[in-house]
Amino acid sequence: MSVGSRPDARLFTGSRGGRISTTVLCDATHWDGVVTELGYEHLRHHGLRHTGPT
């Protein structure tokens, strides 16, 4: 599947059309505050990618 005019075009992009970085994602979701409030300070967003295939 391709999106846009290029077969290697990104499916999701930032507000200016660029790559969505980890920093932008964490800031947009208030990651640090949420995991602290829930008591899961050990939880890292990178580890969540492993839950997708399960």
Helix locations, 1-54, DSSP H: 22-29, 31-38
Please report, as a single letter, which amino acid is at residue 24: V
31-32-34-37 Cα dihedral, nearest 10 degrees: 170
pLDDT in tens, 24-47: 888 888 989 999 999 988 888 777
Instruction: Report how far residue 46's alpha carbon sits from residue 26's, in angstroms, rounded to the nearest whole number.
Output: 11
pTM of the model: 0.55
Strand partners, 3: 6
Q: Kindly tell me if the per-residue pLDDT of 50 is higher than 80.
A: no
